[in-house]
Amino acid sequence: MSTAERPLAPATRLAHVGRRWPPAANRPVAPPLYQSVAYQFAGLDQLEAIYAGEQPGYFYYRYGGPNHTILEQTVAELEGAEAAVATSSGLAALAATLLALLRPGDHLLVARHSYGGTYSLLTAELARLGFGVEFVDLAAPGALAAAARPTTRALLLETLTNPLLQVTDLPQLAAAAHARGWLVICDSTFTTPCLIQPLAHGCDLVWHASSKYFGGQSQVLGGIVAGPRALIERVRETVIHLGVAASAFDAWLAAQGLATLALRMERACQNAMAVAAFLAAQPEVARVHYPGLPSHPQHALARQLYPHGYGAMVSFELRGGAPAARALLDHLRLIPFVPSLGDVATTVSYPLRTSHRHVPAAERAAMGISEGLVRLSVGIEAAEDILADLAAGLAAARAAG
């Protein structure tokens, strides 16, 4: 009697429980979570056909699954890109991109006012592997030309710098880099595709920490990079080799979060503008960094690049320095102290001890990160409640200062 004809033992039936697809002529409204880390094949012919791209299908976790595909296709469409690949974190996306497209001995130029995690990755890991890394103040006249070397291969930018919210002139810098044959890679985590598409402004690749605004609930860990298919497939191969693909659950959560991204960004940008204007009028605040304010030195450029909003990040410097910053953090009640950003709720961070903690003091000073610098990720709450909590924190900062 064959296996198909005779009854199976309970242990066998239990081993295969839940692995039958229920028949249905329609499909679910919400994409399901495909948690399986491996896929089966009808035989070698099917495996080879899927591997060659002649049939749709999946292999193994590191290669991505249906939830990765949904997220990647959505982000690629939003960014105006041919393709995208999802990774386990934002820095994993950057690391895989650089390892895929650069070689030891290549020189990489990086905007000086960059995220501290980017600084640590480049100086602690990429430099150790033989990559030349140089940080440049791109706002300085002639800085790009002065820093260029025969071995320079790429320029790494941020749309709005973290944490001082400098506006990067993507069209100008991308044109200058391409004239020298360099790749231009841009971090757009602060701005999302709802506010700007860096590829349309000349960048070759754009990457995000999808842990931030894509998920929007501080539940996702992931990253993604989008661009021309030929470049993305090289990055994807490196992602597979390194084993830094996003988890299916994180990819699923990020894709669900994208459904409300436009609405969240619109509201958060409105709130950020109100917060920035409020802070600019407070005597405890020495300076507000927000490109939506006319006082911002690059406001005119921001108006050109960001017609749909100036972002939800606001940084400000307290006159009382570190004591004032500590007092403010201790006396905020609605706004939690969180070393991240992009949540639906407003959060506050202290770059000196969080995002830029591992950046050497001299380099932090060159970046302009002072002891009184505080960074807000403005959420979607009622603006008056955010302002009331900030007013209480500033009162404490005034007393401490």
Q: What is the pLDDT of residues 197-239, one digit of tens each?
A: 999 999 999 999 999 999 999 999 999 999 999 999 999 999 9
- 43 by Cβ neighbours in 10 Å (0-12 / 13-18 / 19+) ranks as exposed
Domain boundaries, the chain: 44-258, 261-400
Residue 1 has pLDDT above 60, yes or no: no
Fold of 44-258: Aspartate Aminotransferase; domain 2 (3.40.640)
- The C-alpha atoms of residue 69 and residue 268 are separated, in whole angstroms, by 28
Query: Of these residues, 34, 61, 112, 115, which one is catalytic?
Result: 115
State the pLDDT confidence band at 22, using cuts at 50, 70 and 90: confident
Q: Report which DSSP code applies to 23.
A: P
103 vs 179: CA distance, rounded Å: 21
Using the predicted structure, report yes or no on whether residue 3 has a pLDDT greater than 80: no
Active site residue 169: no
Angle between helices 383-400 and 261-280 (to 10 degrees): 40
Structure tokens at 175: 């044109």
* Backbone angles phi and psi of 395, in degrees to 5: -60, -40
This prediction's pTM: 0.94
Helices (H), 299-360: 299-305, 321-331
Catalytic residue flag (residue 61): no
Confidence of residue 40 (pLDDT cuts 50, 70, 90): very high
Task: Catalytic residue, from 106, 169, 187, 389: name it.
Answer: 187
Q: How far apart are CA 70 and CA 113, in angstroms?
A: 33
Catalytic residue, candidates 13, 60, 62, 180:
62
In angstroms, the CA 88 to CA 240 distance is 11
Give the span between the Cα atoms of 258 and 115, in whole angstroms.
Answer: 23
Mean pLDDT, the chain, whole residue set: 94
pLDDT, residue 140, reads: 87
Residues 6 or more apart whose Cβ sits within 8 Å of residue 103:
none
Q: What percent of the chain has pLDDT over 90?
A: 85
Considering 212, 236, 264, 267, which one is annotated as catalytic?
Answer: 212
**Distance, CA of 16 to CA of 107 (rounded, Å):** 53
**Hey, how many other C-beta atoms are within 10 angstroms of the C-beta on 274?**
16
pLDDT digits (tens, 9 = 90+) for 344-355: 999 999 998 888
Our answer to whether residue 187 is catalytic in this structure is: yes
Sign of the CA dihedral running 106, 154, 149, 364: negative
Distance of CA 321 to the CA centre of its chain: 29
Name the DSSP letter for residue 125. I
Task: Give the Cα separation of 218 and 231 in Å (integer).
Answer: 30
Q: Note the pLDDT tens digit of each residue in 114-149.
A: 999 999 999 999 999 999 999 999 888 899 999 999
The token duo for 367 is: 């970046």
* Predicted confidence band of residue 25 (pLDDT cuts 50, 70, 90): confident
Q: Is the pLDDT of residue 61 over 90?
A: no
* pLDDT, tens only, 249-292: 999 999 999 999 999 999 999 999 999 999 999 999 999 999 99
Helix, strand, or coil here: 286?
A: strand
Q: Is 62 a catalytic residue?
A: yes
Per-residue pLDDT at 74 exceeds 70: yes
C-alpha angle 77/82/87, rounded to 5°?
80
**261-400 classified as CATH 3.30.479.10:** no
Band (pLDDT 50/70/90 cuts) for residue 2 is low
Token pair for residue 89?
């974190």
Residue 26, classified by CB atoms within 10 Å of its CB into exposed (0-12), middle (13-18) or buried (19+), is exposed
Closest of 363, 376, 296 to residue 332, by C-alpha: 376
- 8 Å CB contact between 94 and 121: yes
pLDDT the model gives residue 139: 84
